[in-house]
Structure 1
């Protein structure tokens, strides 16, 4: 079990992303996951781990989206 929680800065970025009408669906999915892990021990699911991994290795995503992806990955199940 991973006990990491989302930092205030990343949680703020996630909230802004969800409110941004121009944010991509990918960014919003990651932002939702980040916020769900803010004050809980929720862990990232397999599908979001895969999405976050794709974002991290792609050149088409912004630094903000990659920050969200990094947070999602850092809170994944280390045994997978």
Structure 2
């Protein structure tokens, strides 16, 4: 695993935590939230699959601001070499 100096911000980590605790959150939102939260206070980076998913979401219309924020956070921690 490559080193990642970027970490999920506390505001995104709080959002991700709330999404995971909300039974009404979509599976997509929960997947993004889990990825974002796993990168809080660690050097883990986004997986290639999550990078592709986040990129796809950001290129589509119709997603909530919450989902877009999570996707942006996940994508910002992607491996630039990919």
TM-score interval, normalised by the smaller of the two chains: over 0.9
Residue ranges of structure 1 left out of the alignment (5+ in a row)? none
Aligned-CA RMSD value = 0.8
Normalised TM-score (structure 1): 0.95
Normalised TM-score (structure 2): 0.93
Residue ranges of structure 2 left out of the alignment (5+ in a row)? none
2:38 to 31, 36, 39: 36
Structure 1 moving runs of 4+ over 4 Å? none
Deviation at 1:2, TM superposition (A): 2.8
2:60 to 48, 58, 61: 58
2: CA distance, partners of 1:60 / 1:21: 21
